[in-house]
Chains A and B, each alone.
Chain A
Amino acid sequence: MIKAVMVMNTQGKPRLTKFYEFLDFWCVVLCSRAENVSNFMEADSIFGPDSRLVYKHYATLYFVFVFDSSENELAMLDLIQVFVETLDKCFRNVCELDIVFNYSKLHTILDEIIFGGQVLETSSAEVMKARISLKLYRISYQNSFWLEE
């Protein structure tokens, strides 16, 4: 199962954190890792036994998933890609600022992809559809705060 999802920038500022299991401590040194090394890190010492960590670096952001041995490492890496591609579709060329000011949207999208630590949806098209169907629903309310891009 997936234990946590984190997004942070190269200065270590968190941009999104979501825990599916209680983890009492996190502080990860990712920035010191060179490019062109693997995307895996030993996480047992940080998150307790049977934890693996996969991260992916996009421009100024690190996307980090923490999970246990019941998940496939590369599939997790793919899932990060799906998450980012979905964000990209949603924000049209997503950048850190989009994420900072729209973290509520980030949560909604993440909830459509990972659910209680399990993979819910892997097709970014489907995630967008779900979002659109929610959006249509919201238009019937005047007080919508999703003033769309």
Chain B
Amino acid sequence: MALSGMRGLSVFISDVRNCQNKEQERLRVDKELGNVRTRFKNEKGLSPYEKKKYVWKMLYIYMLGYDVDFGHMEAVSLISAPKYPEKQVGYIVTACLLNENHDFLRLAINTVRNDIIGRNETFQCLALTLVGNIGGREFAESLAADVQKLLISSSCRPLVRKKAALCLLRLYRKNPDVVNVDGWADRMAQLLDERDLGVLTSSMSLLVALVSNNHEAYWSCLPKCVKTLERLARNQDIPQEYTYYGIPSPWLQVKTMRALQYFPTVEDPNTRRSLFEVLQRILMGTDVVKNVNKNNASHAVLFEALALVMHLDAEKEMMSQCVALLGKFIAVREPNIRYLGLENMTRMLMVTDVQDIIKRHQAQIITSLKDPDISIRRRALDLLYGMCDVSNAKDIVEELLQYLSSADFAMREELSLKAAILAEKFAPDLSWYVDVILQLIDKAGDFVSDDIWFRVVQFVTNNEDLQSYAAAKAREYLNKPAIHETMVKVSAYILGEYGHLLARRPGYSPKELFTIIHEKHPTVSTSTIPILLSSYAKILMHTQPPEPELQNQIWTIFNKYESCIDVEIQQRAAEYFALSRKGASLMDILAEMPKFPERQSALIRKAEDAEVDTAEQSAIKLRAQQQMSTALVVTDQRPPNGMPAQPSIGPLSLVKVPSETVDSQNPGDQGLTHPNGVVYKEDPQPPSQDIIGDLLGTLSIEGPPGAVAQSPQSATYEAEGAPSAADAAALVPVGEESGSVQPIGNINERFYALCLKDSGVLYEDPNIQIGIKAEWRAHQGRLVLFLGNKNTASLGSVQALILPPTHLKMELSLVPETIPPRAQVQCPLEVMNLRPSRDVAVLDFSYKFGPTMVNVKLRLPAVLNKFLQPITVSPEEFFPQWRSLSGPPLKLQEVVRGVRPLPLPEMANLFNTYRLTVCPGLDPNPNNLVASTTFYSETTRAMLCLVSSQLFIESSTL
């Protein structure tokens, strides 16, 4: 036994193994921890051997899942032991128990460094392993140079160098500055010529990390990667021990192809040709074989090759070859390959032109939905969701519905959400959509969120053809003995609104409708009762001539709920009761709901927000780009200028206000006070606390339609205004028509943020996002404007004019007139500072979206402090300079009184963000801050600027 050298440890492990249950194990472990703790307390009496033994025990206990919150110091101290066995324990246990932020690690940096630069290869390996596993920023700063040396040293053995490569990778991740791009790019290329496969594999991992951050600097490595791939896949020029089940190092092949995917394209035609030759060879030369391990390895390479082909956007022929391969994979016996086949097919959906080929495999994919493996079922669901469009929606959604009854619990929520989204986006006709959603609620009511049934109500309300159909369907579902509460809600709502359309059919008389809805009443929760009450009120209203018996029944219910503890229910009951006694005016007030304004589905938006997984994200993105089915466009209620057709009606008010004259018709009833104090008031412009608006509040996606037109645009902006005019709004709409496009976020705040940093968003509205990236060098600057079209339609008549103040010279490159859908264009803008001034440049930007012309004027963050460059001065320089400045205009002094002083560190931070270097310790008074900087302009050249801020605390206020 390997550990028999430490009998105590073996005994302990045996004891733990022999424990009958978790409780016994805990007792045994606690006893041991107590023992170790006592022994560590008296460290002097501890031999290195004993220390080693106890530290191993700690690791074992830690691995069993217990907290080990002591003894870290002992583990770390073993690192500096002179002998291998203790040192090794120290390194291994430290790497497992501690993380990079642990304070004790700092104590070890020196020892670790000595081991790395020492001559002992074994110690080097141990030290590199520790740093590579848990090294943090401090390690990066103090060890990176040594590690680099080891990696490129010709005297080191591969055993050490391969560890150095990965160690450097870790340090680079912790602090990217440790690898100097200029010097390292050539070295990296040389490393890729390495013959030793171990070192080459590690170097390739390092390259992947480097190119993922900055591929431009490592262009020279690209042909080397292709060479490596040729060497492995084509020439099989590789030592025997690196072939794995006959495949030349699959890991290195995979890593190399990963690295290649970080380069945007392969430009050199020769390199491109050789790369495609190798890829072709991989694609064609892989077969499914009996040996599982060989299969895995060859397919690892193959799937990576597929990803690379997709990335390189190969010719269509090669793409269809890939899809054909994937089609083969999703039907094979080997589950791993089925899984990856489905996953990669989902990725493939992003590639244009292959969707149709993928659709040919639909039947097979649907079969995978019934795979015994849940991992595969999930992938199949993703793929079906991604590939669905108008042509196959009916089949796919119906499959999903069918699958819903047998699906695992864990998948049902996702499944129903996806089915609902697909049904909405791609419905061939509306009645089908209603069928699908009702089935969905019926089969998986628990997993159907409110958004889904709200959406169905919206569609039914907005499409008259659908109303009687939906009512009939709802009635059918109510016949079932046990239905989900959501079904009660949606059926009650639809029957209340549209039940009367079917009044002539047998079984649809008001009385019968009421009875069938009211049957469900005892089973529902408080959230449903308000809907039932509304529904009753509507039924009552539609009963013409009134039936006294029904009226009494319903009034009894209203009466009962007038004293309900739930305010919503109580209010409704009271109001409906009062309203229903009004006779004819009831007809007007409770008339049918107006149509909903068109809006994005909350469901789809939620789905877009929620999904983060890469494969899914791609599917979602694709969704967004696809054309929606035209059947389901909510009837557009608005004239093209975006103004609502019925501005006086809240979008969700169940109570339709026929005119604004309710009050004048019934002057006596303006305020209807009830015994229990509920005041009813008819407001022609229902605010958000609308009678029913609250209940259906989530339906509201836009604000009340009146708000857009009314939003105050009183803020003004002067183009010549100084930046200190803090309250000047940066945006002024030109003319009325731009009133309908509102900026997202506060333009002023965005501007001020950009004054302090060099990249960010300058402006955003629902159609466009304008981002800025800037670089400043002395008196010159280079800004890049990123104009991103957020829509699926192009933006036209794009115009950008720069209105520079007199002190700035600005040149904007050509701005294209149209921005294609979902595209971003970059427009560089050169800036030169002629002389100091506080004026600000303005960007006059306009575009046309549909019929709407939008124009905004935006301040550009080319402000004074951008032309500052921090500089540090010594006391010997500062004070003579300071004194030599005599007074205005060269030296200005300002005393600000009566303000609460900013804490000193905050003040210093503020200075630094303005590029004024705070020189600590320069002024002996700790309450004073001294800072220096250089200002650049063409006329003044570099100009030293000094700042001194002094804080006086006045003893009395007056």
Which of A's residues lie within 8 Å of B, judged by CB?
13-18, 20, 22, 33-34, 36-42, 44, 49-50, 69-70, 72-75, 77-79, 81-82, 100-105, 107-108, 111, 115-116, 118-126, 130, 133-134, 137-138, 141, 143-149
* Assembled-state Cα–Cα distance A145/B129 (Å): 21
Question: Is the pair B297, A119 in contact by a Cβ cutoff of 8 Å?
Answer: no
The answer to whether A34 touches B372, judged by C-beta atoms less than 8 angstroms apart, is yes
Tally of A-B Cβ pairs under 8 angstroms: 184
- Given the known interface contacts A42-B378, A72-B254, the answer about A78 and B2 at a Cβ–Cβ threshold of 8 Å is no
Q: Is B10 an interface residue (CB 8 A)?
A: yes
Chain B residues near A78 (CB-CB < 8 A): 244, 250-251, 293, 296-297, 300
Q: List 21 A-B contacts (CB under 8 A).
A: A17-B63, A20-B133, A22-B99, A73-B300, A73-B340, A75-B254, A79-B251, A82-B244, A103-B63, A104-B92, A105-B2, A115-B132, A116-B132, A118-B202, A120-B198, A120-B201, A123-B197, A125-B241, A130-B159, A144-B85, A145-B3
Pair B258/A72 contact, Cβ less than 8 Å? yes
Question: CB-CB < 8 A to A18: which residues of B?
Answer: 96
State in angstroms the CA–CA spacing of A33 and B335 once bound together. 13
Query: Which chain B residues lie closer than 8 Å to A145 at the CB level?
Result: 2-3, 5-6, 52, 85
Taking CB atoms, residues of chain A closer than 8 Å to B56 are 104
**What residues on B are CB-neighbors of A143 within 8 Å?**
49, 83, 85
Q: Is the CB of B375 within 8 A of A37?
A: yes
Extra inter-chain contacts (6) besides given A74-B303, A75-B304, CB under 8 Å? A73-B340, A78-B300, A102-B3, A123-B198, A137-B84, A147-B1
Determine if A41 and B375 form an interchain contact, defined as CB atoms under 8 angstroms apart. Answer: yes
B832 within 8 A of A: no
Instruction: Return the contact of B198 from the options A100, A101, A121, A146 (Cβ within 8 A).
Output: A121
Q: Which of B164-172, B276-284, B845-853 contacts A (4 or more CB under 8 A)?
A: B164-172
Q: What's the nearest-Cβ distance from chain B to residue A121, in Å?
A: 5
B239-281 toward A: CB 8 Å interface, digit per residue (1/0)?
A: 0011010000111101100100000000000000000000000
> B338 interface residue, CB < 8 Å from A?
yes
List which B1-44 residues lie within 8 A (CB) of chain A: 1-6, 10, 13, 17
B residues 47-99 in Cβ contact with A at 8 Å: 49, 52, 56, 59-60, 63-65, 83-85, 88-89, 92, 96, 99
Q: Which of B122, B255, B303 contacts A137 (CB 8 A)?
A: B122
| In the complex, chain B residues whose CB is within 8 Å of the CB of A40 | 336, 339, 375
Residues of chain B lying within 8 A (CB to CB) of residue A147: 1-2, 4-5
Answer whether residue B208 sits at the interface, using C-beta atoms and an 8 A cutoff: yes
B623 part of interface (Cβ distance < 8 Å): no
State the CA gap A33–B618 with chains docked (Å): 29
Contacts of A79 in B (CB 8 A): 251
CB of B194 within 8 Å of the partner chain? no
**A133 adjacent to B249 (CB under 8 Å):** no
- Interchain CA distance A138-B58 in the complex, whole Å: 24
B293 touches A81 (CB 8 A): yes
Q: In the assembly, what is the distance between CA of A111 and CA of B255, in Å?
A: 20
Instruction: Give complex CA distance A131, B162 in Å.
Output: 15
Chain A residues near B4 (CB, 8 Å)? 147
Interface contact A38-B338, CB-CB below 8 Å: yes
Q: In chain B between 712 and 767, which residues have their CB closer than 8 angstroms to a CB of chain A?
A: none
Nearest-CB distance from B867 to chain A (Å)? 41
Nearest-CB residue, chain A, relative to B212 = A70
Q: Is the CB of A122 within 8 A of B293?
A: no
Q: Are A116 and B167 in contact (CB under 8 A)?
A: yes
Which residue of B has the minimal Cβ distance to A81? B293
Residues from 755 to 792 in B contacting A, C-beta threshold 8 Å: none
Max chain A CB contacts within 10 Å: which of B10, B13, B198?
B198
* B258 pairs with A108, CB closer than 8 A: no
In the complex, what distance in Å separates the CA atom of A42 from the CA atom of B378?
Answer: 9
Interface band, chain B: 35 or more
**Residue of B whose beta carbon sits closest to that of A74:** B300
A14–B65 CB distance below 8 A = yes
Q: Hey, which chain A residues are within 8 Å of B614, CB to CB?
A: 50, 69
Write out the residue numbers on chain B whose beta carbons fall within 8 Å of the beta carbon of A126: 198, 241
Measured CB to CB, the nearest residue on chain A to B100 is: A22
B304: contacting residue among A50, A72, A120, A137, CB under 8 A: A72
- How many Å lie between the Cα of A34 and that of B378 in the bound state? 17
B376 at interface by CB-CB < 8 Å: yes
Question: A115 vs B167: C-alpha distance in the bound complex, in angstroms?
Answer: 8
CB-CB nearest in chain B for A142? B83
Q: Residues of B contacting A116 with CB < 8 Å?
A: 132-133, 166-167, 169-170
Which residues of the other chain, A, contact B551 by a CB distance below 8 angstroms? Answer: none
Instruction: Kindly state the separation between the CA atoms of A91 and B59 in the bound complex, as whole angstroms.
Output: 21
B299 to chain A, nearest CB (A): 5
Pairwise interchain contact B303-A123, C-beta atoms closer than 8 A: no
Q: Is the CB of A107 within 8 A of B96?
A: yes
State the majority secondary structure of interface residues on B.
Answer: helix
B205 near A: Cβ within 8 Å? yes
Asked if B163 lies at the interface with its beta carbon under 8 angstroms from chain A, I say yes
User: How many angstroms between the C-alpha atoms of A99 and B85 in the bound complex?
Assistant: 19
- CB contacts (< 8 Å) of A33 on chain B: these are 373
Q: Is B801 an interface residue (CB 8 A)?
A: no
Interface string of B160-192 (1 = CB under 8 A from A): 001100110110000000000000000000000
Which of A72, A81, A108 gathers the greatest number of chain B CB atoms within 10 Å? Answer: A72
With a CB–CB cut-off of 8 A, which chain A residues contact B159?
130, 133
Q: Is the CB of A38 within 8 A of B335?
A: yes
Q: Is the CB of B297 within 8 A of A70?
A: no
A interface footprint on B665-684 (CB within 8 Å = 1, 0 otherwise): 00000000000000000000
Establish whether residues B249 and A77, one from each chain, have CB atoms under 8 Å apart when the complex forms: no
B296 touches A37 (CB 8 A): no
Q: Are B133 and A120 in contact (CB under 8 A)?
A: no
For the complex of A and B, list the 6 residue pairs with the smallest distance between their C-beta atoms, beginning with the closest: A145-B5, A74-B300, A116-B132, A38-B335, A37-B373, A125-B241
In the assembled complex, the CB of A58 is this many whole angstroms from the nearest CB of chain B, namely 12
Q: Is the CB of B166 within 8 A of A115?
A: yes
CB of B613 within 8 Å of the partner chain: yes
A17 (CB) vs chain B CBs: closest residue: B63
Nearest chain A CB to B254's CB is how many angstroms away?
Answer: 5
Closest to A148 in B: B2
Q: Does the CB pair B202–A38 fall under 8 Å?
A: no
Q: Given the complex of chains A and B, what is the CA–CA distance between A41 and B5 in angstroms? A: 40
Closest partner residue, chain A, to B135 (CB atom): A116
B163 in contact with A115 (CB, 8 Å): yes
Q: How far is the CB of B862 from chain A (nearest CB, A)?
A: 39
Minimum CB–CB distance from A115 to chain B (whole Å) comes to: 5
Which chain A positions have C-beta within 8 A of B375? 37-38, 40-42
Q: Give the shortest distance, in Å, between B566 (CB) and chain A (any CB).
A: 36
Is B46 an interface residue when CB atoms closer than 8 A count as contact? no
B612 at the interface (CB under 8 A from A): yes
**Given the complex of chains A and B, what is the CA–CA distance between A111 and B121 in angstroms?**
15
Distance of B236 from chain A, by nearest CB (Å): 15
CB distance B208 to A70 under 8 Å? yes
Within 8 A of A (CB), among B477-525: none
Q: Provide the bound-state CA to CA distance between A91 and B254, in Å.
A: 30
User: What are the residues of chain A within 8 A of B6 when measuring CB–CB?
Assistant: 145
> In the complex the two chains form, what is the Cα distance from A144 to B88 in whole Å?
11
- Please, which residues of chain B bring their CB within 8 A of the CB of A111? 92, 129
CA–CA, A100 to B293, complex, Å?
26
Q: Give the chain B neighbours of A16 by CB distance below 8 A.
A: 63
List, in ascending order, chain B residues with CB within 8 A of A13's CB: 64
CB-defined contacts of A70 to chain B, threshold 8 Å: 208, 258
CA distance A123 to B241 in the complex (A): 6
Cβ of B92: which chain A residues have Cβ within 8 Å of it? 104, 107-108, 111
Q: How far is the CA of A102 from the CA of B460 in the complex (A)?
A: 69
Asked whether A122 lies within 8 Å of B244 as measured between CB atoms, the reply is yes
B133 contacts A115, C-beta separation under 8 Å: yes
Specify which of A20, A101, A138 is in contact with B84 (CB 8 Å cutoff). A138
Chain A min CB distance to B39 (Å)? 18
**Chain A residue at smallest Cβ distance from B96:** A18
Answer whether A101 and B1 are a contact pair too, CB < 8 Å, given A116-B132, A122-B249, A145-B6. Answer: yes
Instruction: Report the bound CA distance from A60 to B375 in whole Å.
Output: 23
A38 to B339, CA, bound (A): 7
Closest Cβ of chain B: how far from A127's Cβ, in Å?
Answer: 10
